[in-house]
Each structure stands twice: as structure tokens, then as C-alpha cells.
A and B are shown apart, each in its own frame.
Chain A
């Protein structure tokens, strides 16, 4: 059974930093591209960032480009999101999502971790 477990969320002041982690199991992590998707309170889904299976390619939404960095450790089956220069509008539940085999739809999601940016 595929399992994705996010951690690292919390309350941070504007301008601060946070690092999210996603621990995975139940599938061959190194073979799959992964993404982060967020959902602001009471709002819809917003794709944030994606990374190829080997880590050689990364993709970002314009809203986070230059502030967020996605990375992965295939030896530990872990996905990360380093978030810097955080803004109030980054407040959201952040989901780790596993891409399907060949295309960028998401067949498994974690439960999410809440990031609150507030003074």
C-alpha cells in the first residue's frame, strides 16, 4: 500500500523559512516523479512544485519560483520542500503527491501538513 506522510508544517512569521518532508513507502520511490500541491483554507488546489524521478528536473509555480526549492533523497525515499521568504498567502495545507507512471496526474496523496504564515 502506497503511503505518503508529510511533516514539518507549523506557524512561521512572514519572511521566515520552513522545510517540509514527505516520507514515502509502498512503492519504488526512485521510479516516480513527485509533487507538492497546496490548498489554502477553504480554497481550491494549487500545484506548487514537481521533481522528476531522478531529481534532474524541477518545476515550480510562478507564485513560489525563487522562494521554494524541491528536493528528494531516493536512498531514503523522502521528498522535501524548502520554503523561504514565506508570505501570508503561502498559508495552506501542503500535500505530497505521487505522479502516475507516465503523466502528471496524481494517483496517491498524503494527508497534508498545515503551514501558517502569520505574525
Chain B
């Protein structure tokens, strides 16, 4: 199974500042057939289901604000919130879909400092 490890477990960022979340996979999730990374990011607010933010490691889902961006390749990935807003307080998860079992990172809780 591919293990997804997120860091940090939590972070507190001032409004308008940058938040950076890391995700590392235990093996490469870059496909040689299409040169794409099989990595998605989700946002989960309290009492709500997860919401897709980014797929293919860096493609923003329709309707997601452009302050959210994804980067990385191979085994190391990053989700960046360029200017944190109050509504961004949530837990963020990465997920690999390179193979089954599909696996998620443990989550990173983002709070306001």
C-alpha cells in the first residue's frame, strides 16, 4: 500500500498570510504513461464532507479560489494557500489514486493565528 504522510499535523497562520501543507508518498505516484501525478487535495470543514480542491497534483477544481495551489512531483507535494481567509479554516487531506487501496494522508488542521 502507498502510505501518504502529511506535515505538519496542524498550523496556525495569520489572516492574509501564506499557509503551506506538505504531503509525501511512500513511492512515486508519477505515471510514466501520462507524466501526471496521481494526487488530489481535499478540504474538510467541521461537520461537512470533504470537498475536492485539486487533482493531478496541481489542477484546481472548478470554482476553487485561485489562492489555493498545488505543486510537487514524484513523492513530494505541497498545497499552498497564498493568502489565508477566515473561511479556509479546515482540515486538509491529500489522497493518492495511483493504485488501490486508495489512501489518504492523516490530515493537516489549519487555524487562524
Q: Which residues of A contact B15 (CB under 8 A)?
A: none
Within 8 A of B (CB), among A20-55: 35, 44-47, 50
Would you call B106 an interface residue if the criterion is a C-beta within 8 Å of the partner chain's C-beta atoms? yes
Give the residue name and chain of the A residue nearest to B41 (CB).
A105
Q: Are A45 and B52 in contact (CB under 8 A)?
A: no
For the complex, is A11 an interface residue (Cβ under 8 Å from B)? no
Q: B interface, by DSSP: helix, strand, loop or mixed? A: loop
Partner of B104, one of A45, A107, A111: A45
A45/B93 in contact, CB under 8 A: yes
Given A107-B52, A109-B49, A61–B40 Cβ distance below 8 Å? no
* A9 on the B face (CB < 8 A): no
User: In the complex, which residues 71-113 of chain B have their Cβ closer than 8 Å to any Cβ of chain A?
Assistant: 93, 95, 97, 100-107
Interface size class, chain B: 20 to 34
Total number of residue pairs linking A and B with CB closer than 8 Å: 53
Hey, which bits of chain A sit against chain B, CB under 8 A? Answer: 35, 44-47, 50, 59, 61-62, 95, 100, 103-112
Residues of B close to A46: CB separation below 8 A: 104
Known: A47-B102, A103-B38, A104-B102. A112 touches B93 (CB 8 A): no
Known contacts A103-B38, A103-B97, A104-B97; decide if A109 and B51 are in contact (CB<8 Å): yes
Name the A residues within 8 Å of B101 (CB-CB): 47, 59, 61-62
Q: Is the CB of A47 within 8 A of B49?
A: no
List residues of chain B with CB within 8 A of the CB of A47. 101-104
Query: Looking across the interface, which residue of chain A has its beta carbon closest to that of B50?
Result: A109
User: What residues of chain A lie closer than 8 Å to B38, measured between beta carbons?
Assistant: 103
CA distance in complex: A104, B4 (Å): 16
Q: Are A112 and B52 in contact (CB under 8 A)?
A: no
